[in-house]
Amino acid sequence: MSLFSRLFDFIGETASTAFSGVVEAVYTVFAGDPETRRNVAFSVAVIALSAKMAKADGIVAPEEVRAFQDIFTIPEAEAQNVARLYNLAKQDVAGYDVYAQRVAGMCGSGHANCAMLEDVLDGLFHIAKADGVIHEKELDFIAHVAEIFRIDETHFARILARHVHPDGIDPYAVLGLAPATPFDEVKKRYRELASESHPDRLRARGVPEEFLRLANDRMAALNEAYSVIEKARVAA
Report pLDDT for 159: 94
More confident residue, 52 or 92: 52
**CB-CB contact of 130 with 163 (8 Å):** no
Smallest CA-to-CA distance from 232 within 180, 191, 192, 190 is with: 180
Confidence class for position 63, pLDDT limits 50, 70, 90: confident
More confident residue, 92 or 219: 219
> Which uninterrupted H or E stretch holds 157?
helix 153-163
Sign of CA dihedral 16, 21, 23, 29: negative
| Residue-wise DSSP of 65-126 | HHHHHHHSPPPGGGHHHHHHHHHHHTT-STTHHHHHHHHHHT-SS-SSS-HHHHHHHHHHHH
Q: In the predicted model, what is the mean pLDDT of residues 150-160?
A: 94
**CB-CB contact of 132 with 66 (8 Å):** no
Report pLDDT for 228: 93
Report pLDDT for 111: 76
Q: In the predicted model, what is the mean pLDDT of residues 5-26?
A: 63
**Highest mean pLDDT pick, 153-157, 194-198, 231-235:** 153-157
Report pLDDT for 94: 67
Residue type at 215 in one-letter notation:
A
Tell me if the pTM is above 0.75.
yes
Torsion angle defined by CA atoms of residues 215, 63, 88 and 144, in that order, rounded to the nearest 10 degrees:
60
What are the structural domain ranges in the chain?
A: 3-235
Q: In the predicted model, what is the mean pLDDT of residues 179-206?
A: 88
DSSP 130: T
User: Quick one: what percent of the chain has pLDDT higher than 70?
Assistant: 82
pLDDT digits (tens, 9 = 90+) for 78-134: 777 777 777 777 776 667 888 788 788 777 666 788 888 888 898 889 888 888 888
Q: Which distant-in-sequence residues (6+ apart) come within 8 Å of 31 by Cβ?
A: 37
Q: Which distant-in-sequence residues (6+ apart) come within 8 Å of 38 by Cβ?
A: 106, 206
Mean confidence (pLDDT) of the chain: 81
**Highest mean pLDDT pick, 120-134, 138-152, 205-219:** 138-152
Q: Give the rounded distance of the alpha carbon of 73 from its chain centre.
A: 14
Region at 207 (left for phi over 0; alpha for psi -120 to 50; beta for the rest): beta
User: Quick one: what percent of the chain has pLDDT higher than 90?
Assistant: 27
Spatial distance between the Cα atoms of 41 and 39, rounded to a whole number of angstroms: 5
Longest dimension (CA), the chain: 66
Q: In the predicted model, what is the mean pLDDT of residues 12-38?
A: 67
Report pLDDT for 203: 74
Report pLDDT for 23: 64
